Amino acid sequence: MTKYIFVTGGVLSSVGKGILTSSLGKMLQVRGLKPTVVKNDPYVNVDAGTMNPYMHGETFVTDDGGETDLDLGWYERFLDLSLKRDNSVTTGAIYKSVIEKERNGDYAGRCVQIVPHITNEIKNRIKNAGTAVNADVVLIEVGGTVGDIEGLPFLEAIRQMRMEEGYENTLYIHVALVPILDVTQEMKTKPLQHSVNELRRIGIQPDIIVARSTNMIDTETLQKIALFGTIPENAVFCAYNVESVYQVPLILDKQGMGDFVCQRLGFNCPNRDYREWQSFVDATINPLYEVKIALVGKYSGLTDCYVSMSESLKHGGAACRTKVNITYIEAEKFEKNPASVNELANFDGIFIPYGFGSRGTEGKITAIKYARENNKPFLGICYGLQLATIEFARNVCNLKDANSTEINPKTPYPVVDIIPQQKDKEHKDVKTCIGTHKIQLQSNTIIYNLYQQEEIMERHRHRFEINPDYIEILSKNGLVFSGKSASSTRIEAIELPDKYFYLATQFHGEFKSRLGNPSPAFKGFIQACKDKKIDKPKPTFT
Ligand code: GLN
Q: Which of 58, 465, 495, 510 is catalytic?
A: 510
Please report the pLDDT score of residue 419 as a whole number.
84
* Neighbour count for residue 137 (Cβ, 10 Å): 25
In the reported structure, the alpha carbon of residue 359 is separated from the centroid of ligand 1 by a whole-number distance in angstroms of 13
**Is residue 198 among the annotated active site residues?**
no
Please report the pLDDT score of residue 424 as a whole number.
63
In the reported structure, the alpha carbon of residue 475 is separated from the centroid of ligand 1 by a whole-number distance in angstroms of 22
Quick: pLDDT tens for 46-65: 888 888 888 888 999 999 99
Nearest CA to ligand 1 atom 7: 354
Please report the pLDDT score of residue 50 as a whole number.
82
Q: Which of 238, 305, 382, 529 is catalytic?
A: 382
Please report the pLDDT score of residue 90 as a whole number.
95
Please report the pLDDT score of residue 402 as a whole number.
98
Please report the pLDDT score of residue 56 as a whole number.
83
Please report the pLDDT score of residue 426 as a whole number.
59
461 lines ligand 1 (CB under 6 A): yes
In the reported structure, the alpha carbon of residue 381 is separated from the centroid of ligand 1 by a whole-number distance in angstroms of 9
| Lowest-confidence segment of 1-5, 13-17, 133-137, 349-353 by average pLDDT | 13-17
Q: Which of 141, 335, 508, 529 is catalytic?
A: 508
356 lines ligand 1 (CB under 6 A): yes
Residue of 299, 305, 354, 361 best suited for mutating to test ligand 1, as the one with most atoms within 8 Å of CB: 354
Q: Cβ distance 433 to 392 under 8 Å?
A: no
Q: Region 210-217: what's the mean pLDDT?
A: 95
Atom of ligand 1 nearest to the CA of 354: 8
413 lines ligand 1 (CB under 6 A): no
Q: Exposed e or buried b for every residue in 187-215, given b needs 16+ CB within 10 A?
A: bbbeebbbbbebbeeeebebbbbbbbbee
Please report the pLDDT score of residue 15 as a whole number.
80
Q: Cβ distance 194 to 208 under 8 Å?
A: no
Q: Is the pLDDT of residue 29 over 90?
A: yes
Q: Region 225-248: what's the mean pLDDT?
A: 96
Atom of ligand 1 nearest to the CA of 381: 8
Across the chain, what does the average pLDDT equal? 95
Nearest CA to ligand 1 atom 5: 383
Confidence bin at 301 (pLDDT 50/70/90): confident
Please report the pLDDT score of residue 427 as a whole number.
61
Confidence bin at 9 (pLDDT 50/70/90): very high
Q: Is the pLDDT of residue 474 over 70?
A: yes
- In the chain, the percentage of residues whose pLDDT exceeds 70 is 98
Confidence bin at 2 (pLDDT 50/70/90): very high
Stated pTM of the model = 0.95
Please report the pLDDT score of residue 165 as a whole number.
97
299 lines ligand 1 (CB under 6 A): no
In the reported structure, the alpha carbon of residue 305 is separated from the centroid of ligand 1 by a whole-number distance in angstroms of 14
Please report the pLDDT score of residue 479 as a whole number.
98
For the CA atoms of 129, 132, 136, 141, the dihedral, rounded to the nearest 10 degrees, stands at: -10
In the reported structure, the alpha carbon of residue 451 is separated from the centroid of ligand 1 by a whole-number distance in angstroms of 23
From residue 260, give the alpha-carbon distance in Å to each of 174, 208, 265, 508: 15, 9, 9, 38
Confidence bin at 429 (pLDDT 50/70/90): low
Q: Is the pLDDT of residue 194 over 80?
A: yes
Residue 117 DSSP code: I
Please report the pLDDT score of residue 256 as a whole number.
97
Quick: pLDDT tens for 249-282: 999 999 999 999 999 999 999 899 999 999 999 9
Residue of 50, 51, 405, 406 best suited for mutating to test ligand 1, as the one with most atoms within 8 Å of CB: 406
Residue 252 DSSP code: H
From residue 212, give the alpha-carbon distance in Å to each of 2, 15, 471: 28, 7, 53
In the reported structure, the alpha carbon of residue 351 is separated from the centroid of ligand 1 by a whole-number distance in angstroms of 15
The candidate with the shortest Cα–Cα distance to 503, out of 518, 481, 532, is: 481
406 lines ligand 1 (CB under 6 A): yes
**Is residue 382 among the annotated active site residues?**
yes
Q: Is the pLDDT of residue 112 over 90?
A: yes
Q: Is the pLDDT of residue 435 over 70?
A: yes
Q: Region 89-118: what's the mean pLDDT?
A: 95
Residue of 425, 463, 506 best suited for mutating to test ligand 1, as the one with most atoms within 8 Å of CB: 463
| Lowest-confidence segment of 239-248, 369-378, 428-437 by average pLDDT | 428-437
Q: Is the pLDDT of residue 487 over 90?
A: no
**Is residue 510 among the annotated active site residues?**
yes
383 lines ligand 1 (CB under 6 A): yes
Q: Is the pLDDT of residue 342 over 80?
A: yes
Please report the pLDDT score of residue 74 as a whole number.
97
Quick: pLDDT tens for 137-165: 999 999 989 989 999 999 999 999 999 99
Atom of ligand 1 nearest to the CA of 416: 10
Nearest CA to ligand 1 atom 6: 462
Residue of 352, 358, 462 best suited for mutating to test ligand 1, as the one with most atoms within 8 Å of CB: 462
Q: Region 486-494: what's the mean pLDDT?
A: 90
Q: Cβ distance 210 to 237 under 8 Å?
A: yes
Please report the pLDDT score of residue 11 as a whole number.
81
Q: Cβ distance 41 to 150 under 8 Å?
A: no
